[in-house]
Amino acid sequence: MAKKTESALDLSKVRNIGIIAHIDAGKTTTTERVLYYTGMVHKIGEVHEGAATTDYMEQERERGITITAAAITASWKGHQINVIDTPGHVDFTAEVQRSLRVLDGGVVVFDGVAGVEPQSETVWRQANNYGVPRICFVNKMDRTGANFQRCVDMIVERLGGNPVPLQFPDGEGADFSGIVDLIKMELVTYGDDLGTAIERHPIPEHLREEAETRRAEMIEKVVENDDFLTEKYLMGEEITEDELMGALRAATIAGKVHPVLCGSALKNKGVQLMLDKIVELLPSPLDIPPVRGTHPKTDEELVRQASDDEPTTALVFKILTDPYVGRLAFFRVYSGVVRAGTTLLNSTKGTRERIGRIVRMFADKREDVEEVHAGDIAAVLALKDSFTGDTLCDPDKPIVLEKISFPEPVIQVAIEPNSKADQDKMGVALRRLAEEDPTFKIEVDEKLGQTKIAGMGELHLEILVDRMQREFGVQATVGRPRVAYRETITRSARVDTTFKRQTGGSGQYARVVIEFEPMTEEDYALAAEGRAEKQDLLFIDAIKGGAIPKEFIKPTENGVREAAAGGVLAGYPVVGVKATLVDGAFHEVDSSEIAFKIAGSMCLKEGVQKAKPAIMEPIMKVEVVVPEEYTGTIIGDLSSRRGTILGMEPRSGGATSVRAQVPLAQMFGYATDIRNMTQGRGSFTMEFDRYAIAPQNIADEVIKGSA
Q: What is the pLDDT of residues 23-37, one digit of tens each?
A: 677 767 777 787 788
Classify residue 277 as left (phi > 0), alpha (psi -120 to 50) or beta.
Answer: alpha
58 has pLDDT over 60: no
For residues 108 and 117, is the Cβ–Cβ distance under 8 A? no
Which residue would you say has higher pLDDT here, 240 or 318? 240
**Beta-bridge partner residues of 392:** 314, 346
Which residue would you say has higher pLDDT here, 493 or 405? 493
Extract the runs of DSSP E, i.e. beta strands, from 140-229: 163-165, 167-170, 178-181, 186-190, 198-201
Which residue would you say has higher pLDDT here, 473 or 181? 181
> Which range, 203-207, 359-363, 569-573, is most confident?
203-207
452: pLDDT confidence band, cut at 50, 70 and 90? Answer: confident
Q: How many helices (H) and strands (E) does the chain have?
A: 17, 38
Q: Which of 92-101, 173-182, 544-553 has the lowest mean pLDDT?
A: 92-101
Mean pLDDT of 575-598: 92
pLDDT at 612: 94
pLDDT at 442: 87
Mean pLDDT of 427-445: 81
Average pLDDT, the chain: 84
Q: Which sign, positive or negative, has the C-alpha torsion 112, 115, 121, 124?
A: positive
Q: Which residues of 183-204 are buried (b: 16+ CB within 10 A; e: fewer)?
A: beebbbebeeeebeeeeeeebe
Return the half-sphere exposure (C-beta side, CA atoms, 13 A cut-off) of residue 704: 6
397 has pLDDT over 80: yes
Q: How many CB atoms lie within 10 A of CB 176?
A: 23
85 has pLDDT over 80: no
Return the half-sphere exposure (C-beta side, CA atoms, 13 A cut-off) of residue 352: 7
- CB-based burial of residue 242 (10 Å sphere; 0-12 exposed, 13-18 middle, 19+ buried)? exposed
Closest listed residue to residue 532, CA positions, set 566, 579, 494, 569: 579
Q: Which of 105-119, 358-372, 590-604 has the lowest mean pLDDT?
A: 358-372
Mean pLDDT of 106-124: 84
pLDDT at 581: 95
pLDDT at 51: 42
580 has pLDDT over 70: yes
- Distance CA(10)–CA(618), nearest Å, equals 48
3-class SS shares of the chain: helix, strand, coil, % to 5: 30, 30, 35
Contacts of 366 (CB under 8 A, 6+ apart): 359, 360, 379
For residues 536 and 567, is the Cβ–Cβ distance under 8 A? no
pLDDT at 70: 56
191: pLDDT confidence band, cut at 50, 70 and 90? Answer: confident
Report pLDDT digits (tens) over 474-511. Answer: 888 888 888 889 999 999 999 999 999 876 667 889 99
For residues 57 and 40, is the Cβ–Cβ distance under 8 A? no
617 has pLDDT over 90: yes
Q: How many CB atoms lie within 10 A of CB 419?
A: 11
54 has pLDDT over 50: no
Mean pLDDT of 395-399: 93
194: pLDDT confidence band, cut at 50, 70 and 90? Answer: confident
Report pLDDT digits (tens) over 372-390. Answer: 999 888 888 878 888 888 8
pLDDT at 60: 40
Using H for helix, E for strand and C for coil, what is the string for 465-534? HHHHHHHHCCCEEECCCEECCEEEECCCEEEEEEEEECCCCCCEEEEEEEEEEECCHHHHHHHHHCCCCC
**Beta-bridge partner residues of 165:** 260
The interaxial angle of helices 241-253 and 271-281, nearest 10 deg, is 80
Calculate what percentage of the chain has a pLDDT beyond 90.
41
- Distance CA(418)–CA(579), nearest Å, equals 43
Mean pLDDT of 528-535: 55
Q: Could you write out the DSSP letters of every residue in 342-407?
A: -EEEETTTTEEEE---EEEEETTEEEEESEE-TT-EEEEE--SS--TT-EEE-TTS--EEPPPP-P
pLDDT at 68: 46
pLDDT at 687: 78
For residues 91 and 456, is the Cβ–Cβ distance under 8 A? yes
Q: Which of 56-60, 607-611, 665-669 has the lowest mean pLDDT?
A: 56-60
Is residue 455 helix, strand or coil?
strand
Q: Which of 1-5, 186-190, 239-243, 566-570 has the lowest mean pLDDT?
A: 1-5
